[in-house]
Chains A and B, each alone.
Chain A
Amino acid sequence: GAVVSQHPSRVICKSGTSVKIECRSLDFQATTMFWYRQFPKKSLMLMATSNEGSKATYEQGVEKDKFLINHASLTLSTLTVTSAHPEDSSFYICSARHSFVDEKLFFGSGTQLSVL
């Protein structure tokens, strides 16, 4: 089946630093990837839709300058949390839509970000 790889799985950083999270589709091309944020025992909150070769579409309330998304190729999207603060600590998950397979999404394994 389609595999989405997300790295790193866990990152601890100091307040004020930037953190980059990568999401790769390993065996398929993903024209669209999605980034979510999830708090403990809570649902997934869609942050933005990342389209290859164009600007990401952010959900209402999500700061685009805070959460930079780049989708430079059909297999890679990155989320950069800029000037991270403790309130940015969360579980971030990406997903990808396989261009030719139904409408189910394939998810990365998530990144636990802890900002000290």
Chain B
Amino acid sequence: SQQGEEDPQALSIQEGENATMNCSYKTSINNLQWYRQNSGRGLVHLILIRSNEREKHSGRLRVTLDTSKKSSSLLITASRAADTASYFCATRKAGGTSYGKLTFGQGTILTVHP
């Protein structure tokens, strides 16, 4: 079952603005990852944050993780039209041995207008 819930489901902004997407999950996790998917394509890994980390940066991306609230946010700064895509959070449950088995959220469709 999909445990990740993302909001908003869709986000429309102008180029240059910041975009913030949120993800909530239900079980204890080992790590949380964000992926991007262009329409009709596979997913591309953006960033991974471990359960003992609170914030991580990568270029224009900033991810936060609040394990007490079981939530994460992805911030894309100074957005570009090329950032238009669907963004998914994915979690790996704590414990277990199924490395790589992720549960994906419902996704946020981001549209950046030039």
**What residues of chain B have their CB less than 8 Å away from a CB belonging to chain A?**
2, 4, 30-31, 33, 35, 40-45, 48, 86, 88, 92, 98-107, 109
- The 8 Å CB contact of B41, one of A42, A45, A109, is A109
Counting residue pairs across A and B whose Cβ atoms lie within 8 Å, the total is: 63
A40 to nearest B CB, angstroms?
A: 10
**What residues of chain A have their CB less than 8 Å away from a CB belonging to chain B?**
4, 6, 32, 34, 41-46, 49, 91, 93, 95, 97, 102-110, 112
Q: Residues of B contacting A107 with CB < 8 Å?
A: 35, 42-44
Cα distance A105–B103 in the bound complex, in angstroms? 12
A109 to nearest B CB, angstroms?
A: 5
Contact B99 A45 (CB under 8 A): no
Cα distance A110–B86 in the bound complex, in angstroms? 15
Q: Are A93 and B48 also in contact (CB < 8 A) when A49-B98, A103-B92 are? A: no
Cα distance A6–B104 in the bound complex, in angstroms? 20
Contact A45 B42 (CB under 8 A): no
Q: Residues of A contacting B42 with CB < 8 Å?
A: 4, 6, 93, 95, 107-110
